Amino acid sequence: MKNITGTMEKKTVEAEELGNHIGENVQIHGSIYKIRTMSDFAFVLLRTKRNVVQCIYSAEFSGFSLSEITEESCVIVTAHVKAEERSKTGYDLQMIKIETLSWPEEPSPVVINNKRVDASMETLLNFRPLTLRNERERAIFKLQEGITCGIREFLKQERFTEVHTPKIVYAGAEGGANIFCLNYFGKEAYLAQSPQFYKQMMVGVYERVFEIAPVFRAEKHDTSRHLNEYTSVDFEMGYIDSFEDIMQMETMMLRHVMVYLKEQYENEIRLLNAKLPVIDEIPAIKFKEAKEMISLDYRRPVKDFDDFEPEEERLLYELVKQKTGSEFVFVTHYPSRKRPFYAKDSGENQEETLSFDLLFRGLEITTGGQRIHKYKEQIAKMEYRGMNAELFDTYLMMHKYGMPPHGGLGLGLERFTGKLLEQDNVRLSTLFPRDIHRLIP
Amino acid sequence: MKNITGTMEKKTVEAEELGNHIGENVQIHGSIYKIRTMSDFAFVLLRTKRNVVQCIYSAEFSGFSLSEITEESCVIVTAHVKAEERSKTGYDLQMIKIETLSWPEEPSPVVINNKRVDASMETLLNFRPLTLRNERERAIFKLQEGITCGIREFLKQERFTEVHTPKIVYAGAEGGANIFCLNYFGKEAYLAQSPQFYKQMMVGVYERVFEIAPVFRAEKHDTSRHLNEYTSVDFEMGYIDSFEDIMQMETMMLRHVMVYLKEQYENEIRLLNAKLPVIDEIPAIKFKEAKEMISLDYRRPVKDFDDFEPEEERLLYELVKQKTGSEFVFVTHYPSRKRPFYAKDSGENQEETLSFDLLFRGLEITTGGQRIHKYKEQIAKMEYRGMNAELFDTYLMMHKYGMPPHGGLGLGLERFTGKLLEQDNVRLSTLFPRDIHRLIP
């Protein structure tokens, strides 16, 4: 028997700590990202956890031959941190020795160490395990991590409890055909399209809950906006005064995220040239009024009275930005017939729901709203829709035995990330996208 | 158009802040948890986000009749916070007024407001939306949240990047029959048994990564230890010196979690009477030696030379605890034929892998190990096992184009929570368990 002491000797320094070692020799590990040979020396770029570090190779002080090293090999570099005023970092990293831990079998089939990966989206995604090693590509998903960290920090502060709800479910919250089926020990089961039912149940338990987890949609859309699996940020809160509270909470949350990113992800923001939106007030406009406004301002006939066309979302963005400066807009009071059975109808107009979408830079990134919390009201709406309430008895349990007024929302993490970076395809902000054609890698 | 300002007026106080309002009248909202009628007054327990607050009803100062309120109704209470030395909190909460936001249709069919829910596990789980409202039940999952928060805090500090990898996959990491299949637009796809392939790929990108997400196992086991969907805490790290580094990291992580829980979840620990383990050093013993030790000490013949029987895990726990005081034990060097194709074999003995399990209070909660990082070594092991390496070409991409020595682990969140609370069935620490019989709620 031996003992694991729970201690780890650090033999190498972190890239971010190099400045504390000026005048010293240090060891640092990473992958050789790029070798740039100059006339009588070379820049050797080392990819570390979060930063790419520039080392200087020179026959003068480097006790090895440049031909000994190769891109994408994993190494431990011994280097001298030499004070250098002309350098942005304040030092030069002079390579003294190198130990190679592993070599690639072959050079990468895609060039990954330029500023951008110069390849089609197909290639970019087919070679994901390699293309993500590109400094810019990986910054996208580091920033995405920042978004979730900022969200968690905010929601925790607002006393939300984080939950883990099942993804294999007995019925789809949204219903319909857009659902993946699986055989669950002889029973038919589905992959959850959202944690809707469960997060509502948990409002009865903790009042405020959230979950950041995968959701699955079997939609056959093949567009730049759709994924068949994505990461959904869901929150649900009880004791609301009106569905406006949910929009207020989201506005506060997004504002918090922007501050968090600026503080903690400066590097990635710079690398990606991300223009973070200023979130002051967010305009809210009724769906019907938005439709009319777009139609009038752009002299477009309304074709679909129940939903936006993607083009209309873009036009609305332009209009609102022009009028108010905001890159976000809440669209409220969607028609009842387009919203799920648990959506609460407006007291003023039964054909409208107390619901909203949030559009960001012309794309819907959030759907939310108030839910029905009274048992009889919920049963009545299900009956009106011709649904068999008995199939939903475990869902309706909470309504029957007491629920506060409540509501919540779901935010698509990949869509939000993509729009933050002004990308035109949601696949670009998805680590390993799943679409109607893509299941690999 | 109106504006969402991103502000929310707080009309009610939080339970935790009541002590700051002594001498004042406040409003507080929540569900009526329990009404306890005494001779000339009543205790009205209010369930808030995290705490149950005791209010006092008396005809003397409460301007309403006790018959107006009912358990599990959602209310806003106006109360006077009266200094009271004899109270543990330092104050009494005298109910002045009550506003009821919603009433239950019927009283709960299960008694949920006693210290414990006195019901069979079947009933407990069948009525989850209600039974989770029990103070003790919900504390279990609040504590579980604390575990993930502590883990995230630690891993972030150790510079791990959090990732979201797909759950619909083209091939199972572990292979075998224990996998859920689904029809993915005419192609056969699987539900991920672990993020194994993806977290390894991401080591090539960020060096250290983690994910806390659902995994799916179609195992037909019907035991107290198995779930068909559970939350897996996975981390993977590059540039390890040996597989011992992974055990060191896990030991540090678990130690951090215990400190975190003690600081932030004191209430829940007390309510659940949880005995948090002291994590000093964790003994590590080779699988073969452990088998021999159990056999010798308990005079048991060894039946299965490749794996532990559950009874053996319990006996090993007792032995180790007796000898060292530790409630954890690492078991290392599992036989190669019982470990997956990506497990790195020991240099000293090709029939053993550089792998480990972590047992906690007699139950395996973690499986981990070093992975093969060299392309040719991986291909050779796959060929030796008769596998078709071509089917794994996107997985093998990372090996081919350069990977550091690396390894990682997966920890079952529900098992860990359960053992922390000394529960004897993992379903009790699963919010909405999925097992061979259970898909609802």
The mean per-residue pLDDT over the stretch B387-416 comes to: 96
Minimum distance, in Å, between the CA of residue B38 and any CA atom of chain A: 25
| A49 and A98 part of one domain | yes
At residue B177, the pLDDT reads 72
User: Which residues of chain A are within 8 Å of residue B283 when distances are taken between CB atoms?
Assistant: 1-4
Residue B176 has pLDDT above 70, yes or no: no
What pLDDT, on the 0 to 100 scale, is given for residue A1? 86
User: Residues B366, B254: one domain?
Assistant: yes
pLDDT tens figures, A181-212: 999 999 989 999 999 999 999 999 999 999 99
Q: Residue B113 domain-assigned?
A: no
pLDDT class of B303 with cuts at 50, 70, 90: confident
Can you give the pLDDT at residue B355?
98
> Is residue B124 scored above 60 in pLDDT?
yes
Please report the pLDDT score of residue A304 as a whole number: 87
User: In chain A, which residue's Cα lies nearest the Cα of B221?
Assistant: A185
Partner-chain contact B206 A138, CB within 8 Å: yes
pLDDT at A174 > cutoff 70: no
Give the single-character DSSP code of B431. S
Its domain, for residue A308, covers: 135-429
pLDDT digit string, tens, across residues A282-304: 999 999 999 999 999 999 998 88
Sign of CA dihedral A380, A385, A391, A396: negative
CA of B350, closest CA in chain A: separation in Å? 21
Taking an 8 Å cut-off on Cβ atoms, the answer to whether A148 and B138 are in contact is no
Query: Does residue A158 register a pLDDT over 80?
Result: yes
3-state class (DSSP) for residue B345: strand
Name the token pair of B204: 């090539």
Neighbouring C-beta atoms of residue B37, cutoff 10 Å: 11
Residues A177 and A254 in one domain: yes
Q: Where are the beta strands (DSSP E) in A20-172?
A: 25-37, 42-47, 52-57, 74-83, 91-102, 161-162, 168-169
Q: What is the pLDDT of residues B182-221, one digit of tens each?
A: 999 999 899 999 999 999 999 999 999 999 999 999 999 9
In a domain, residue B251? The reply is: yes
**pLDDT tens digits, A16-62:** 999 999 999 999 999 999 999 999 999 999 999 999 999 999 999 99
A368 lies in a domain?
yes
**Binding-site residues from annotation of B for ATP:** 217-219, 225-227, 364, 412-415
Identify which of B108, B281, B397 has the shortest CB distance to residue A129: B397
What was the pLDDT predicted at B8? Answer: 94
- For B262-268, the CB contacts below 8 A with 24+ separation are B264/B146, B264/B149, B264/B150, B265/B142, B265/B143, B265/B146, B267/B50, B267/B51, B267/B139, B268/B139, B268/B140, B268/B142, B268/B143, B268/B146
Query: Which residues have a Cβ under 8 Å from the Cβ of A391 and sit 6 or more positions away?
Result: A171
How far is Cα B254 from Cα B147, in angstroms, rounded to an integer? 9
For residue B345, how many other CB atoms are within 10 A of its CB?
A: 19
What are the chain A neighbours of B159 within 8 Å (beta carbons)? 14, 49-50
Q: What percent of chain A lies above the pLDDT cut of 90?
A: 95
Same domain membership, residue B156 and residue B74: no
Predicted confidence at residue A201, as pLDDT, reads 98
Which of B376, B382, B383, B372 has its CA nearest to residue B400?
A: B376
Judgement on whether residues B181 and B55 belong to the same structural domain of the protein? no
CA distance A411 to chain B (A): 15
pLDDT higher than threshold 60 for residue A173: no
Is B281 in Cβ contact with A3 (below 8 Å)?
yes
Q: Which of B1, B2, B4 is the best mutation test for A, with the most CBs of A within 10 A? A: B4
Q: Which of A233, A401, A413 to mutate to test the interface with B (most CBs of B within 10 A)?
A: A401
Predicted local confidence at residue B171, as pLDDT: 65
Q: Tens digit of pLDDT for each residue in A228-283?
A: 999 999 999 999 999 999 999 999 999 999 999 999 999 999 999 999 999 999 99
B130: contact with A, CB 8 A cutoff? yes
pLDDT-based confidence at B153, cuts 50/70/90? Answer: very high
| Residue B371, domain member (yes or no) | yes
Question: Helix A135-157 crosses helix B135-157 at what angle (to 10 degrees)?
Answer: 150
pLDDT (0 to 100) of residue A149: 98
What Cα–Cα distance (Å) separates residue A439 from each residue in A119, A168, A407, B318? 20, 19, 34, 46
Please tell me if residue B427 touches chain A, with a CB cutoff of 8 Å.
Answer: no
Q: Which of A74, A127, A168 sits opposite B434 (nearest CB)?
A: A168
Q: Is B34 on the interface with A (CB under 8 A)?
A: no
Residue A301 sits in the same domain as residue A377: yes
pLDDT digits (tens, 9 = 90+) for A53-79: 999 999 999 999 999 999 999 999 999
User: Can you tell me the distance from the alpha carbon of B358 to that of A255, in angstroms, rounded to the nearest whole number?
Assistant: 42
Residue B359, pLDDT score: 98
Q: Which helix (H) or strand (E) holds A384?
A: helix A375-384
Q: Indicate if the pLDDT at residue B172 is higher than 60.
A: no
Residue A167 CB neighbour total at 10 angstroms: 22
Q: Does A14 touch chain B (CB under 8 A)?
A: yes
Question: Residue A89: what are its φ and ψ, rounded to 5°?
Answer: -80, -15
Shortest CA gap A87–chain B (Å):
26
Q: In this complex, do A132 and B201 lie within 8 Å of one another by their Cβ atoms?
A: yes
CATH number for position B296: 3.30.930.10
Residue A175: per-residue pLDDT: 58
Residue B380 contacts A, CB cutoff 8 Å: no
A419: left (phi over 0), alpha (psi -120 to 50) or beta: alpha
pLDDT number for residue A418: 98
Residues 258-287, chain B, touching A (beta carbon < 8 A): 279-285
Does some domain include residue A3? Answer: no
Q: Do B401 and A108 touch (CB under 8 A)?
A: yes
Asked if residue B220 is part of any domain, the answer here is yes
**ipTM rounded to 2 decimals:** 0.97
For A405, half-sphere exposure in the C-beta direction (CA atoms, 13 angstrom radius) is 18
Q: Who has greater pLDDT, A391 or A276?
A: A276
CA B24 to chain A, closest CA, distance in angstroms equals: 23
Q: Assess contact for B238 and B404: CB atoms under 8 A.
A: yes
Chains A, B: CB contacts within 8 A come to 345
B33 CA: distance to closest CA in chain A (Å): 11
Does B376 lie at the interface with A, CB-CB under 8 angstroms? Answer: yes
Are both B97 and B236 inside the same structural domain? no
Q: Is residue B127 part of a domain?
A: no
Cβ–Cβ below 8 Å for B439 and A168: yes
Q: How confident is the model at residue B44, as a pLDDT?
A: 98
- pLDDT of B145 strictly over 80: yes
CA–CA min distance A162, chain B (Å) = 6
Which residue intervals of A282-369 are DSSP H helices? 287-298, 310-324
In this structure, the answer to whether residues A58 and A190 fall within a common structural domain is: no
| Number of separate helices (H) and strands (E) present in chain A | 11, 17
Token pair 């440049």 is at which residue? A66
Interface of A with B in 292-321 (CB under 8 A): none
Domain boundary among B46, B79, B102: B102
Q: Inform me whether the C-beta atom of residue A164 falls under 8 Å from chain B C-beta atoms.
A: yes
The residues in B 320-359 lying below 8 A from A, measured between CB atoms, are: 323-324, 330
Q: CA B138 to CA B157: how far, in whole Å? A: 29
Q: State the average pLDDT for chain A.
A: 96
Half-sphere exposure of B172 (CA within 13 A, CB side): 18
pLDDT > 70? residue B103: yes
- Produce one character per residue of B177-199: b if its CB has 16 or more CB atoms within 10 Å, e if not: eebbebebeeeebbbbbbbbbbb
Taking the C-alpha atoms of residue B415 and residue A374, their distance in angstroms, rounded to an integer, is: 36
Please answer yes or no on whether B4 and A283 come within 8 Å at the CB atom: yes
Cβ of residue B438 closer than 8 Å to a chain A Cβ: no
Q: How many domains does chain B have?
A: 2
Q: Are B433 and B227 in contact (CB under 8 A)?
A: yes
Do B93 and B162 have their domain in common? no
Quick check: A422 pLDDT over 90? Answer: yes
Same domain assignment for residues B253 and B377: yes
Alpha-carbon separation of residue B80 from A173, B34, B44, B224 (angstroms): 43, 20, 14, 48
CB < 8 Å from B in window 197-236 of A = 197-198, 201-202, 204-208, 213-214, 216, 218, 220, 228-229, 231
Out of B77, B102, B127, a domain closes at B102
Q: What is the CATH number of the domain that holds A31?
A: 2.40.50.140
Answer yes or no: is A342 within a domain: yes
Chain A residues with beta carbon closer than 8 angstroms to that of B17: none
Q: State whether B140 and B240 are in the same domain.
A: yes
Touching check for A196 and chain B: CB below 8 Å? no
Q: Which of A230, A232, A251, A204 is nearest to A371 (CA)?
A: A204
Percent of chain B with pLDDT over 90: 95
Binary contact (A207, B12; C-beta < 8 A): no
Residues A268 and A367 in one domain: yes
Residues in B closer than 8 angstroms to A439, CB to CB, are: 168-170, 184, 187, 189
d(Cα B75, Cα B192) in Å, to the nearest integer? 44
Please state, in angstroms and as integers, the Cα–Cα distance from residue A168 to each residue in A165, A406, B28, B75, following that order.
9, 25, 37, 34
Q: What is the mean pLDDT of residues A362-374?
A: 98
Average pLDDT over residues B65-81: 97
- Helix ranges, B181-265 (H): 196-206, 244-264
Kindly report the nearest CA distance between residue A269 and chain B, in angstroms: 16
